[in-house]
Amino acid sequence: MLSCDPYPVYRKYLQFNELVIDNFDTLVSADRSINYKTNTISYSHGHGSYAVRKRQQHFLEEQALSMTLRFDYQKISRDQRQFYKDFILKNLSAAGRLWAIDGNQLLWTMAEVNQLGDIYANEPWIWEIDVDFTLTEGIWHKADVHKTFLRPYDSCDFIDCLDYREIDECLDCCIACNSKPAEHCKKCFCECENLSREWSLCELKKEIIADFYAGCNNTYQIIYNCEAGKHLWKEEILLGHRLCKKTKCRQLIAGEFYSGTVINSDKVQVTLIGKFENPTIKINGNGMQVSGCFCGRLTIMSTGDIWYQRDSNCPPMRVPVNDLIIPKGSSFGYEVHQGLNQVVVDTRNKCDMVCVFVKVDELTA
């Protein structure tokens, strides 16, 4: 049935930090709860309650996720079994990215383990544990197709990219100190600079849906960014949706772009490239202006940081926060919703070509 229907609707958890969850063999069960930030006041003389709401879409609380994981040590060589357990505990002991696939979308969120419990098993080669995660952000991010890579993976080869060594502490110190340690040689695919386009989410998006849901042995280790995306694609592709003046003689850039975000996203980065003066950028009617004359690249981050780079040979310079002007009737930052979003940029330049790029971190629950 799964092979006939390539778009299952349930969410399947794939990886935490570097710990890969091997399809259905490892993940026994998972239970997630979502809570929204809602306040209600009961009507004294009427049915129901009044909902205190400042915006149409609710904010989310942190999420709770409980998993039961089952690790089969029969797949691991005897001399590496202790290393495998150490590797599992090391990954569960640090906060990091939790990855999942939901239909045809690869997602991630920041998570940390707040409780871990052993389950007694009669089989000596099985280690089963209950893990309680706190998903601190309360939201999930849709993976960037140009910065996310998927490397073919088998848990039997977990040690290939790690430096675990067996040290005999019973040896005489002088012997142990004088003996030359064996050099640990990582396989070439362990290095991020060796990642290629064929391993990118952009290339594998259709294949991974079937592989992750099929319950077979086709597993991937997910690698995020590693700066590889910048080397494999033109930098402008990584800047997001592109809108330019229709002609050089026009002062305004006006257009629309589509976003698939489910939760309205304020994680929006805007980049202007060209020559412009005191530019005003409006997205969905909310505007911000940066004072100054610019010839190069101006980047407005969602955090409020503004950077200006004259050309690729010059380092970016931080623009003083006092140069950011919020026009009357507007507020700081931008918000992008699902569907078409409007962009209007006043470049105050009728002589040169200028383009604006909008990069949106698309979110879901």
* Tens digit of pLDDT at every position of the chain (365 positions): 455 555 677 899 999 999 998 766 788 899 999 998 888 889 888 889 988 777 788 899 999 999 999 998 888 888 888 888 999 999 999 999 999 999 889 999 999 999 999 877 778 888 999 999 999 999 999 999 999 999 888 777 776 666 656 655 565 555 555 555 444 444 545 656 678 888 899 988 888 877 887 766 668 899 997 678 888 888 889 999 999 999 999 999 999 999 999 999 999 999 999 999 999 999 999 999 999 999 999 999 999 999 999 988 889 999 999 999 999 999 999 999 999 999 999 999 999 999 999 999 999 99
Domain with 205, as residue range(s), is 11-230
* Residues in contact with 287: Cβ distance below 8 Å, sequence separation at least 6, in sequence order: 280, 281, 326, 327, 330
The answer to whether residue 311 sits within a structural domain is: yes
Q: Residues 47, 121: one domain?
A: yes
Q: What is the pLDDT of residue 40?
A: 86
Name the domain boundary from 230, 250, 282: 230
Domain count for the chain: 2
Residue 2 lies in a domain: no
Sequence-ordered strand ranges (E) for 205-267: 219-224, 241-244, 252-259
Q: Look at residue 54 and tell me if it is in a domain.
A: yes
The answer as to whether 5 is a domain residue is no
- The domain that holds 202 is classified in CATH as 2.40.30.200
Q: How far, in Å, CA of 167 to CA of 39, rounded? A: 58
Does some domain include residue 6?
Answer: no
Helix (H) or strand (E) holding 323: none
Distance CA 112, CA 14 (A): 15
Tell me, yes or no, whether 187 and 315 share the same domain.
Answer: no
Q: Which of 230, 258, 283 is the last residue of a domain?
A: 230
SS3 86: helix
d(CA 262, CA 285): 20
In a domain, 242, yes or no: yes
Question: Quick one: 245 and 223 in the same domain?
Answer: no
Residues 57 and 199 in one domain: yes
Residues 35 and 161 in one domain: yes
Task: Return the DSSP state at 26.
Answer: H
Do 183 and 38 lie in a common domain? yes
Q: Which of 230, 258, 275 is the last residue of a domain?
A: 230
- Asked if residue 106 and residue 90 are part of one domain, the reply reads yes
Q: What is the pLDDT of residue 61?
A: 94
User: What CATH code is carried by the domain that includes residue 248?
Assistant: 2.60.120
Q: Does a structural domain hold residue 1?
A: no
Distances in whole angstroms, Cα of residue 364 to Cα of each of 137, 202, 334, 357: 11, 20, 17, 22
Q: Note whether 154 and 25 are same-domain residues.
A: yes
**Claim to verify: residue 206 and residue 275 sit in the same structural domain:** no
Distance, in Å, from the CA atom of 343 to the CA atom of 254, rounded to the nearest integer, reads: 6
Q: What does the block give as tokens for 240? A: 């997001």
Is the distance from CB of 26 to CB of 70 less than 8 angstroms? yes
297 and 221 in one domain?
no
285 and 173, same structural domain? Answer: no
Q: 277 and 190 in one domain?
A: no
Has residue 139 been placed in a domain? yes
Q: What does R_g of the chain's alpha carbons equal in angstroms?
A: 25
